[in-house]
Chain A
Amino acid sequence: MIKGLLTTLREMFQQPVTIQYPEVKRPVRTRFKGRHVLKRYENGLEKCIGCSLCAAACPADAIFVESAENTDEERYSPGERYASTYEINMLRCIFCGFCEDACPTEAIVLGDNYELSFTDRHQSIYTKDMLLEPVPPGGKPTPQNTEPGKYTRSVPVMQDPQD
């Protein structure tokens, strides 16, 4: 009995493991797969080119993409094509990360956010503006008015692999 009490006493003076969520949040692991983020380039242009490969790779059919054509006056992403609609149904998503793997421009990344709760099924559909990351400092929001002939490549130039 003394042994048991000793354990209790020892634990009383130890640091508690409970974290005061939501005031305090535990950092996630580096490979954690949370809610998706649509990335931007440094200049603010969206990386997503609306190719739908994420939707094709998705085993849960959670992603819906529609695309349209960029113009230099109204440019969302480099190259010709951008996603005019981008929706992920978080109720369907199984956070497998296949979309990340399929993306040819590394536009979609499973982020750190695990706080997904909805009171309505419709809220589970995350639209493009909810998924897009904020414009980085120094960048401009999309659509941008860009100089003609500058952003002609949709898929960033990939040099012959070095590593």
Chain B
Amino acid sequence: MTKLVTLTIDDQPVSVPAGTLVVDAAKQIGNDIPVFCYHPKMEPVGMCRMCLVEIGRPMVDRGTGEVLLDENGKPRIQFGPKLETACTTPVSEGMVVRTQTKVVADARREVLEFILTSHPLDCPICDKGGECPLQNLTMGFGPGQSRFLYDDKIHLAKHVPLGELIYLDRERCIQCARCVRFQDVIADDPVIGFYNRGRRLEIVTYSEPGFDSIFSGNTTDICPVGALTTADFRFGARPWELKSSASICTHCPVGCNLTFNTRREARAGGNPVIKRVMPRQNEQVNEIWICDKGRFAYHYTESPQRLTQPLVRRGDGFEEISWEEAYQLAAQKIRASQNLLTLTGGRLSNEDLFNLRELTLARNGQAVLYSDMAGGDLTASYGLAPGSNFGSMGKETAILVVASDLHEEAPVWWLRIKAAAQRGARLIVLNPRSTRLDKFATHTLRYAYGEESQALATFLPGAAVPEAYQAAVQEFHSAENAVIVYGSEGAGLAASQGLAQTAAAILAARGKVGQVNNGLLAVWQRANDQGAWDAGFRPVEDLPAALRNVEVALIAAADPAGDDPLLAQALEETGFVIVQELFMTETARRADLVLPVQAFTEREGTLTSGERRVQRFYPALPPRPQTRPDFAVAAGIGKALGLDLEGRAASLVFLRLVKTLPAYAGLTYTQLAEVTPQYPIIGRSDLYYGGTAYDNHQGLGVQLPLLPAARPVAVGQSQTAASVTAGEGEILLVPVTRLYDRGNTVLPSALLHQRLAGKTIRLHPQTAAAFGLNAGETLRLSRDGWSAEAQVELDEEVPLKMALAVRSTGIPCSALSAVRLERLTVASAD
């Protein structure tokens, strides 16, 4: 417990922990000291001088060290001759702060007058106008008139694209350096900086491509003026015209809280469209940050290519049918079949998954999760205990990250684990190649692809530890708390099963299960994979065979045919394929019945994050006519089969869900919507303080309790190393994850196209030379009847005889596997 210090701010006493800054202490008692450069998530710099206040301290007798008292017996307070910046001054015992005196008001007025000398005053066209700290503080404290001559205003470029996502208006910049500091300190992407001095000072980017950071959108939130704006929202609407709806990001398992801003739009025929995506504060999940994928990759939900009518196959084409006919047809096929397989993607909500599960179980079908990653049953028993929060982890915690490039797989977890490491948490990174987390790790360990479980097993108490691992293992065991994060870098289903088991065994052996800030965390490939595991969906090792052998396959929110030609072939052999989808995907093209569903922006539901936090999302837009939510579709088919399924509302499905799934027992929508006060205080009236991220009124979610483990967990085996070897002319294909992949939910966002991962594979120069390949050349990969072409990229870090391929870019790679590699001879131009 840190020492409390009592001070007086405007005659109001307040006790805060020692080291708190005056500006934060004042904020806690509702006294708003205006700031521009200070941000509660960053260290103060005292650049803008807006927070000047009068600060007095008790006089102390230098001889005795005693506080001098006045005639009334109160400490004599000595005020400095000048004002002090409240953002850089830590509180001290007996301090007296005055914020409402004439001197302070004069100082604020003059600072604002000075800031406004070169501010363009184009508020009417500024995207920040209406939610602008400078606007608000000028109205509150500024001078009515400027003594500055208009002709002396300097004019700078107003349209400077720093990258394709973020635009800079140099005139509007007030040089607070919030963006520069965010990129340097929080995002660790020091790609923007100050150039020149004085009035000519400007923000520049020195990366190629410009502003190369996956967190760049956050700088527009914390910019206290309209200097940084996003290309997506540029001139899109005025802030006061926007309606906001709370939602949850569905791109990765972090489950960042979002706010969708919507507005009626002529191009949508007067219907509301999403104008921008803003972070919503949840200090236990994403704080006030989101990554650029979450911010800009929402366009798929409003794509004109969305399916709008149930379709049934007639010969080679499709024919539109009514929902009732579609349900009857699906029911008829399911009824006539012996076996049913339901394949779901982790994009679906818990309610959808629950109804699909009920439908599948009622028909004795197989509930399959479309994923290359295992261990959801283990995270349910050994996962992060309720109350765990990366934001509260420090010295006493050891975080072991194995087989995951967190920066690409789950950016906000990367951000928070990095911050924990900077607070003193012992971070051990176990990965075959270097990642962005290495820089912050206490220990960085390497292993060969395929040997992840052996590498992790050295952390088992009592295991034989190789020399290189000793320090890290000791560090891990000496920590009070232990968190193990595992991903799917180079690992398929079997390998990740081994990883999860080993990790769970380590935690169990160390007795680190069920305590706060301890547990196992899986970096799932999709947002609600954990929810799917909880609902009983399991990935299968041989999905092509499973698909081939069923009479009816019901596929929801997954595109196996688009990912892997083998699965596409298998689908051709499946008896009857029903697809619930947003788009006409490759899988939907091969389906017999295609049912159009609603995007998560158009409906309600809950998602379970990787940390097993159940969070609600709310509809932001009206649904498209003739589309239905997945849970209603499943219930519709179920009703046609004579089953008792709930399809009227997500909340009603959830009522049944909590009665059936033990982990969710007792949860209610109301509970999920509860909020507790969060710090720092941000939001509409506190724009100047925390930025334009939204405050949370719609729920912080509930972390699920851990389920008792069914049986002691056995240490996992690295199955891959033993069975997979590359023969002559072959190479081991290693699947890795990139943030900007080419998935169906990313491609429709044109803004991100420049940053998307290409259809490339990365080889060591020596490997490439052995195959006679140069950088940029096209090669062909082939295995068991499929082949794919890809460009060569050289990377010294890739192990020999291996090739890194990015998931969801058109190269089928579900697990470490041997493929034939050929140089594609370019036809000569004769």
Contacts and interface: CB of A to CB of B under 8 A. Distances in A.
Do these two chains really belong together in a complex? Answer: yes
A70 B400 CA distance: 51
Contacts of B240: 56
A130 to B, nearest CB: 15
A55 interface: yes
A160 B149 contact: yes
Interface in A56-102: 56, 64, 66-69, 79-81, 85, 87
A137 B558 CA distance: 61
A155 B122 contact: yes
Contacts of B42: none
B17 to A, nearest CB: 43
A85 B129 CA distance: 20
A157 B150 contact: yes
B301 to A, nearest CB: 20
A154 interface: yes
B659 interface: no
Contacts of A80: 125, 158-159, 235
Given A56-B238, A80-B125, A152 B158 contact: yes
A158 B122 CA distance: 12
B122 A154 contact: yes
Contacts of B264: 64
Interface of B: 121-122, 124-125, 129, 149-150, 155, 158-159, 234-238, 240-241, 264-266
Contacts of B234: 69
B238 A52 contact: yes
Nearest to B157: A152
Contacts of B265: 66
B171 to A, nearest CB: 10
Nearest to A55: B241
26 contacts: A49-B124, A49-B125, A50-B125, A51-B125, A51-B129, A51-B238, A52-B237, A55-B241, A56-B238, A56-B240, A56-B241, A66-B265, A66-B266, A79-B125, A80-B125, A80-B235, A81-B235, A85-B266, A87-B266, A152-B155, A152-B158, A153-B122, A154-B122, A155-B121, A157-B150, A158-B150
A152 B238 CA distance: 21
B150 A160 contact: yes
Contact of A51 (B124, B149, B150): B124
B772 to A, nearest CB: 47
A85 B234 CA distance: 16
Contact of A53 (B124, B235, B266): B124
Tell me whether chain A's interface is mostly helix, strand or loop, or mixed. Answer: loop
Nearest to A49: B125
Contacts of B122: 79, 153-155
Interface string A19-58: 0000000000000000000000000000001111101100
A159 interface: yes
B124 A154 contact: yes
Contacts of A50: 125, 235
Given A52-B238, A68-B235, A81-B125, 6 more contacts: A51-B125, A64-B264, A79-B125, A80-B125, A80-B159, A81-B235
Contact of A69 (B124, B235, B241): B235
Contacts of A158: 150
A55 B264 CA distance: 13
A159 B150 contact: yes
Contacts of B149: 160
B124 A67 contact: no
B515 to A, nearest CB: 53
A104 interface: yes
A142 B159 CA distance: 21
Contacts of A68: 235
5 A-B pairs with the lowest CB-CB distances in the bound complex, closest first: A51-B124, A81-B125, A104-B124, A85-B266, A52-B238
A155 B150 contact: no
Contacts of B266: 64, 66, 85, 87
Contact of B235 (A67, A104, A152, A153): A67
A159 B235 CA distance: 26
Contacts of A81: 125, 235
Interface string A121-163: 0000000000000000000000000000000111101111000
Contacts of B129: 51
Contact of B241 (A52, A104, A153): A52
Nearest to B129: A51
| Residue of B122, B124, B129, B265 with highest tally of chain A CB at under 10 A | B124
B268 to A, nearest CB: 11
A81 B127 CA distance: 10
Nearest to B146: A160
A158 to B, nearest CB: 8
Contacts of A87: 266
A157 to B, nearest CB: 7
A68 B231 CA distance: 12
Contacts of A53: 124
A123 B775 CA distance: 62
A45 to B, nearest CB: 15
Nearest to B147: A160
B152 to A, nearest CB: 11
A126 to B, nearest CB: 14
Contacts of A157: 150
A158 B145 CA distance: 14
Contacts of A52: 237-238, 241
A92 to B, nearest CB: 14
B173 to A, nearest CB: 16
B127 to A, nearest CB: 9
Contacts of B121: 155
Contacts of A79: 122, 125
A105 B236 CA distance: 20
Contacts of B124: 49, 51, 53, 104-105, 154-155
Nearest to B130: A56
A155 B306 CA distance: 41
A67 B234 CA distance: 9
A49 B129 CA distance: 14
A72 to B, nearest CB: 10
A69 B122 CA distance: 15
B235 A154 contact: no
Contacts of A51: 124-125, 129, 238
A152 B170 CA distance: 13
Contacts of A160: 149-150
A105 B124 CA distance: 10
Contacts of A64: 264, 266
Contacts of B236: 67
Contacts of B155: 152
B446 to A, nearest CB: 49
A55 B266 CA distance: 15
A120 B125 CA distance: 34
A87 B150 CA distance: 35
A49 B158 CA distance: 15
A80 B266 CA distance: 21
Contacts of A55: 241
